[in-house]
Amino acid sequence: MPGLWDASLKQLYFADYQTTFTADTLTIGQQYDVIADIEIGASLNSFAGEDRLVVTVTNLTTNQVVQTRTVPRSLQPSATVRRQQRVINFPALDATMVSDGDVLRATGSYRVSAGVNTDHDASQSGTTIAVN
């Protein structure tokens, strides 16, 4: 549970495309999703105007960024805790960036803006394997 004035990126994980099921592997040449569980405390959410989620997928085997998605959106303020599961769609894994057996990790940053108040949080997924 976040504090009253806190934004929290609670969890980040890879999922099979168009599902919320954890992906044990990601197939090269196929699309996939990253799921982000977010929470915004009631006081911050009372004035929340926008949030932004940035997710970067890194190939830990080669230490290269594979893909990045930035997902901003407008929010309707509400005097309650906001809990949502965000689905971030990623294009197919590019065979020039990953090889069979490479280890991948998603890293996310989350920002909520509420007038003059802004809060940030970050999280990392567990690892997954790229396969042919």
User: What residues in the chain have per-residue pLDDT under 70?
Assistant: none
Distance from C-alpha of 13 to C-alpha of 76, rounded to nearest angstrom: 26
CA distance 114 to 5: 10
For 31-43, how does the pLDDT look when each residue is reduced to its tens digit (9 = 90+)? 999 999 999 999 9
Q: Please check whether residue 9 is in contact with residue 121, taking contact to mean a CB–CB distance below 8 angstroms.
A: yes
The pLDDT of residue 2: 72
pLDDT, position 75? 97
For residue 111, the one-letter residue type is: R
**What is the spatial distance between Cα 74 and Cα 15, in angstroms, rounded to a whole number?**
25
Q: What is the pLDDT of residues 59-73, one digit of tens each?
A: 999 999 999 999 999
What pLDDT score does 101 carry? 98
- Residue of 65, 64, 44, 46 whose CA lies nearest to 54: 65
